[in-house]
Structure 1
Amino acid sequence: MANVHLSLGASDQLRQVRHICRLLEAHPQICLCGDFNCPPESAALALLREAGYRRVGSNAPTYPSWRPRKTLDHIFIKGALDGHCCTDHTFTASDHLPVCAELR
């Protein structure tokens, strides 16, 4: 499992995701999760899909936690892993709502 917190800028995010993919390419099965600071349709997340990662979950907004309007937090899996994701709307100790996954 790897946890990330990407920068706010799209060009930085692309660089970061390329680097993350290189670091994790030796791991055939992995869960990559965290604050990606970008929506599901972003170019950075498209790079993950091209690298064989599958996004787990819905497009439920996670930011800001007090009135969620943006989907910025994601869980991706790669390899033989399977699972489903949920967003916890009851926990608001952060400016982002948490996302969780049950993996098989």
Structure 2
Amino acid sequence: MRLMTFNIQAGAYTGSYREYLTRSWQTVLPHKGKLRNLAGIAQLIEPCDFVAIQEADSASVRTGFRDQMEYLAEMAGFPFWSHQRNRNLGLAQPGSGLLSRFEPTSVIAHRLPGAIPGRGALEVHFGEDGQDLRLIVVHMALTAAGQLKQSRYLADLTADMKHVAILGDFNATPESDSLAPLFASKRLRSANTEPSFPSWNPSRNIDLVLLSAGLKVKHAEVYSVPISDHLPVQIDVEIPRSCAATLAGLNQT
């Protein structure tokens, strides 16, 4: 299966740290450039089976009241999508979501712990009875203390999951002490090592796909495309036959 994780910055593009200030208006106002960027994102993600999206707006002033997850699903031909709104800021309603070629069995929205509310984890199940595949989309805190709390939460959450992938913007590299709880049991490992942030001069590997032992990495790639302040990360994964049969069965129901 082909996975991708992408922080889309609500469809806005930033080309330097300076532009976080000079183009700050794009964080609260709609503009045509966002639709062009979303069209580019839709074309990029179309070959994937699952796409984890961070900083997708659910429908607010800055997107012209367009639900960005729904728009991407329609543009890229994904029959199923889920969205978790993490904050309601009035002019903006950022959140995370998952686009899927397969129908989920269940979707659970978790609130991650932290001093500042507004971080979540979207848990999506495909199948049941121990042979299911579980994908979790996260966008973690900016501070090391917040990341550590959230890593502990996610480690506990996934402790008994046999086939699981955690995808998202971790705001920390795999070597960071704040992510150590996720790797302590050696059940999870990072599938990608190349930097993805910032998009104009990538130097930090913070957009991660963490896989459990039964999921094998076949190929990992960071796409150098000027769409967001992050670069998209794609992972091709070999899954157990039991998981493949479960997914095939979901598309036959």
Give TM-score, length-normalised by structure 2: 0.38
CA distance in 2: counterparts of 1:39 and 1:20, whole angstroms: 16
> Of 183, 191, 197, which aligns to 1:56?
191
1:23 aligned onto 2:150: no
Partner of 1:82: 216
Q: Report which structure shows greater RCO (CA 8 Å, sep ≥6).
A: 1
The Cα RMSD (Å) is 1.4
Offset of 1:26 from its aligned partner?
Answer: 2.9
Tell me the equivalent position of 2:147: 13
Identity %: 33
Q: How many residue pairs end up in the alignment?
A: 102
For structure 2, the residue ranges without an aligned partner over 5 or more in a row are 1-134, 239-253
**8 Å CA contact retained: 2:154, 2:182:** no
Match of 1:93 among 223, 227, 231: 227
- TM-score normalised per structure 1: 0.88
Give the Cα–Cα distance (whole angstroms) in 2 for the partners of residues 79 and 67 of structure 1.
Answer: 32
Task: Give the counterpart letter for 1:11 in structure 2.
Answer: A
Give the structure with the larger helix fraction: 2
- The residue identity in structure 1 corresponding to 2:139 is H
Q: CA deviation at 1:21?
A: 1.6
Is 1:63–1:70's contact at 8 Å kept on the other side of the alignment?
Answer: yes
1:63 touches 1:96 (CA, 8 Å); kept in 2? yes
SS of aligned partner of 1:11: helix
- Structure of larger gyration radius: 2
- Amino acid paired to 2:210: F
Match of 1:70 in 2: 204
Equivalent in the alignment of 2:175 = 41
SS in 2 for 1:28: coil
Structure 1 unaligned runs (5+)? none
